[in-house]
């Protein structure tokens, strides 16, 4: 369904939750993901034209906080390090108008209420994102299997490579994965599960337990063999990049069914930051190519001073308040004086950022759509134990051309490809892509006419794809990451301070919350002076 209504999404989510035995979670999930109250409930429209607010970063957290705060009439300046592009880790690459692919965000879960709030508000068209199609490929141990309902073939042809327990030998692959992620979740009371999407100083002991172990340790507790764990690692595509991090991060994906019936923006995800820009009030300005290098508390004048680098020239600007939305990975490089609280400093220093590599191929022929042996692939993906990790197929094309996500991985394999020089990287991806599809060597040399590749860890203003906690980091850092600094003069927003990492939902919701919190601060101080 194009442009799903809220009612349609909610009914779909209810049905999916009931199908996995957790129908009672629906109201908790919707509440957790819903937008906060309208900002004008906290302060009158245009009440603070004299207040000067600086927002560091023109990603979706910065754009949403600016959009909401502009309703109060504040004088807002967004400071963006890039020269030409807004959106942060939302990055649609257009080979031309009709041919594009996503180097950043590419999926919208049906439960992500803040994301849908803005999509509906700006009337941005969405279409279903096809995760599975009839001839999706699994290619592991040099064995190629096509189709999404090939569990028996997988058990016959792939399982023998792994020393499995007897029960594992007769359990379909999708059920092995489902049980490893859903069994602990279903054992929690619903009142505990809801904490997965909350920012709290103190969590239930069950939450803290799963924060302190990884996926494989949970598999051990559930009776999986080493062979069973290796089987899952080799066949689950990008998920394998998360298996050594906190298991709690995976539970946060499973709880709201983030990968069921997802959507995408029809003309590319960059339409969303463009829409913010189009609808932004005149009291908001953006300074591009301004790299923040210093954050200073001027207690004497009760202001925050930001130091920029612009064309190798230093400039300073004063603000009454600042909302910092850039990743902690880059905030770590900024001079902060006086230093933030010790808890915040440790969070900035230690929170783990996941690396991610994506490579798009512009192909003059959509070879994956060939009708040879009735094996046409339209949408969906291929998973492989090769270093390219996963391949994602488009549903759109133009003439004979199409844009293929030829390699998408996170974690170790993404680092291994990302650390190759670009020509070697593209050569390797072509050869492995040919192997996955059973094409003759060098077949793609003539088919691939252009490409775009990105390693998010090497992007100077991101230094990582998204926050993804290591063991114990929820307990240590989630709550301190959220707290303001400098006596409520600096607030924070971004996916890294949201409980569910790596989604635009977290950026948008925390941006809205930061704006609302600033509205409350302004009203409190305004009343204090009268």
Q: Render pLDDT for 281-320 as a digit per residue (tens, 0 to 9).
A: 999 999 999 999 999 999 899 999 999 999 999 999 999 9
Residue that has been written with the tokens 């129908």 in this structure: 23
Q: Would you say 293 and 334 are in contact if contact means Cβ atoms under 8 Å apart?
A: yes
Residue that has been written with the tokens 């999930």 in this structure: 29
Between CA 111 and CA 12 the distance in angstroms is 10
pTM above 0.95, yes or no: yes
b/e 234-249 (16+ beta carbons within 10 angstroms → b): bbbbbbbbbbebbbbb
Return the sign of the alpha-carbon dihedral for residues 73, 83, 278, 93.
Answer: negative
Bridge partners for 317 per DSSP = 306
Nearest CA among 378, 486, 474, 384 for reference residue 431: 384
pLDDT of the residue at 395: 86
Q: How far is CA 4 from CA 124, 130, 429, in A?
A: 11, 15, 36
Distance in Å from the first CA to the final CA of the chain = 54
**What sections of 305-421 are H helices per DSSP?**
328-331, 342-350, 412-418
Nearest CA among 386, 375, 358, 353 for reference residue 249: 353
Peptide bond before residue 209 is cis, with ω within 30 degrees of 0 = no
Give me the phi and psi of 78, to 5 degrees please.
Answer: -95, 125
Q: Which two tokens stand for residue 235?
A: 């066949």
**Half-sphere exposure for 174 (CA within 13 Å, toward CB):** 9
Q: Is the pLDDT of residue 464 over 60?
A: yes
pLDDT of the residue at 149: 75
Q: Tell me, letter by letter, the H, E, C secondary structure of 319-332.
A: ECEEEECCCHHHHC
Nearest CA among 172, 101, 141, 177 for reference residue 436: 141
**Half-sphere exposure for 185 (CA within 13 Å, toward CB):** 25
Nearest CA among 467, 479, 476, 28 for reference residue 208: 476
Q: Is the pLDDT of residue 32 over 60?
A: yes
Q: Would you say 410 and 356 are in contact if contact means Cβ atoms under 8 Å apart?
A: yes
Q: Which two tokens stand for residue 277?
A: 């820009």
Q: Is the pLDDT of residue 345 over 70?
A: yes
pLDDT of the residue at 252: 98
pLDDT of the residue at 526: 75
pLDDT of the residue at 299: 87
Burial class, 149, CB count within 10 angstroms (exposed 0-12 / middle 13-18 / buried 19+): exposed
pLDDT in tens, 225-247: 999 999 999 999 999 999 999 99
Nearest CA among 481, 491, 480 for reference residue 320: 491
DSSP string for 289-308: T-EEEEEEEETTTTEEEEEE
pLDDT in tens, 161-207: 999 999 999 999 999 999 999 999 999 999 999 999 999 999 999 99
Between CA 303 and CA 486 the distance in angstroms is 9
pLDDT mean across residues, the chain: 96
pLDDT in tens, 40-73: 999 999 999 999 999 999 999 999 999 999 999 9
Between CA 494 and CA 59 the distance in angstroms is 8
pLDDT of the residue at 412: 96
303-310 and 75-79: which strand pairing?
A: unpaired
N residues, the chain: 530
pLDDT of the residue at 318: 98
Q: Which helix (H) or strand (E) holds 333?
A: none
pLDDT of the residue at 1: 83
Q: Which residues contact 65 (CB under 8 A, 6 or more apart)?
A: 55, 323, 325, 493, 511, 512, 514, 515
Q: Which residues contact 209 (CB under 8 A, 6 or more apart)?
A: none
pLDDT in tens, 378-397: 899 999 999 999 999 998 77
């Amino acid at each position: 369904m194009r442009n799903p209504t809220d009612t349609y999404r909610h009914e779909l989510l209810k049905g999916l939750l009931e199908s996995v035995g957790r129908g009672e979670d629906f109201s908790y999930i919707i509440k957790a993901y819903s937008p906060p109250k309208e900002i004008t409930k906290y302060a009158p429209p245009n009440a603070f034209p004299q207040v000067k607010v600086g927002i560091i970063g023109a990603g979706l957290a910065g754009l949403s906080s600016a959009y909401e705060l502009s309703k109060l009439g504040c004088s807002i300046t967004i400071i963006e390090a890039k020269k030409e592009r807004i959106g942060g880790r939302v990055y649609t690459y257009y080979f031309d108008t009709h041919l594009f692919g996503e180097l950043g965000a590419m999926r919208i879960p049906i439960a992500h209420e803040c994301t849908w709030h803005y999509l509906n508000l700006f009337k941005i068209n969405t279409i279903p994102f096809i995760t599975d199609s009839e001839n999706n490929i699994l290619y592991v141990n040099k064995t190629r299997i096509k189709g999404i309902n090939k569990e028996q073939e997988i058990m016959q042809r792939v399982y023998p490579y792994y020393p499995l327990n007897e029960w594992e030998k007769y359990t379909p692959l999708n059920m092995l994965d489902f049980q490893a992620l859903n069994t602990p979740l279903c054992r929690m009371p619903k009142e505990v599960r809801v904490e997965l999407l909350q920012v709290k100083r103190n969590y239930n002991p069950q939450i803290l337990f799963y924060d302190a172990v990884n996926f494989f340790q949970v598999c051990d507790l559930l009776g999986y063999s080493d062979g069973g764990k290796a089987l899952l690692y080799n066949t689950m595509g990008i998920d394998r990049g998360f298996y050594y991090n906190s298991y709690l991060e995976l539970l946060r994906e499973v709880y709201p069914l983030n990968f069921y019936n997802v959507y995408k923006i029809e003309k590319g995800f960059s339409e969303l930051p463009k829409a913010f820009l189009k609808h932004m009030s005149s009291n908001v300005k953006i300074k591009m190519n301004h790299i923040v290098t210093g954050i200073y508390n001027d207690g004497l004048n009760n202001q925050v001073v930001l130091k920029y680098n612009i064309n190798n020239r230093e400039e300073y600007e004063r603000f009454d308040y600042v909302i910092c939305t850039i990743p902690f990975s880059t905030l770590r490089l900024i001079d902060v004086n006086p230093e933030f609280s010790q808890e915040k400093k440790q969070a900035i220093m230690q929170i783990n950022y996941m690396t991610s590599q994506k490579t798009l191929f512009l192909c003059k022929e959509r070879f994956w759509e060939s009708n040879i042996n009735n094996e046409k692939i339209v949408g969906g993906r291929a998973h492989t134990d090769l270093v390219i990790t996963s391949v994602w197929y488009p549903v759109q094309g133009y003439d004979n051309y199409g844009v293929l996500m030829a390699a998408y991985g996170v974690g170790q394999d993404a680092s291994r490809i990302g650390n190759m020089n670009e020509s070697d990287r593209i050569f390797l991806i072509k050869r492995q892509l040919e192997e996955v599809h059973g094409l003759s060597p060098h077949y793609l040399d003539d088919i691939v006419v252009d490409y775009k590749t990105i390693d998010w860890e090497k992007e100077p203003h991101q230094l990582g794809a998204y926050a993804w906690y290591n063991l114990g980091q929820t307990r240590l850092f989630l709550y301190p990451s959220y707290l303001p600094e400098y006596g409520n003069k600096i607030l924070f927003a971004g996916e890294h301070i949201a409980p569910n990492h790596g989604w635009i939902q977290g950026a948008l919701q925390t941006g809205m919350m930061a704006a609302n919190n600033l509205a409350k601060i302004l009203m409190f101080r305004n009343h204090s002076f009268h």
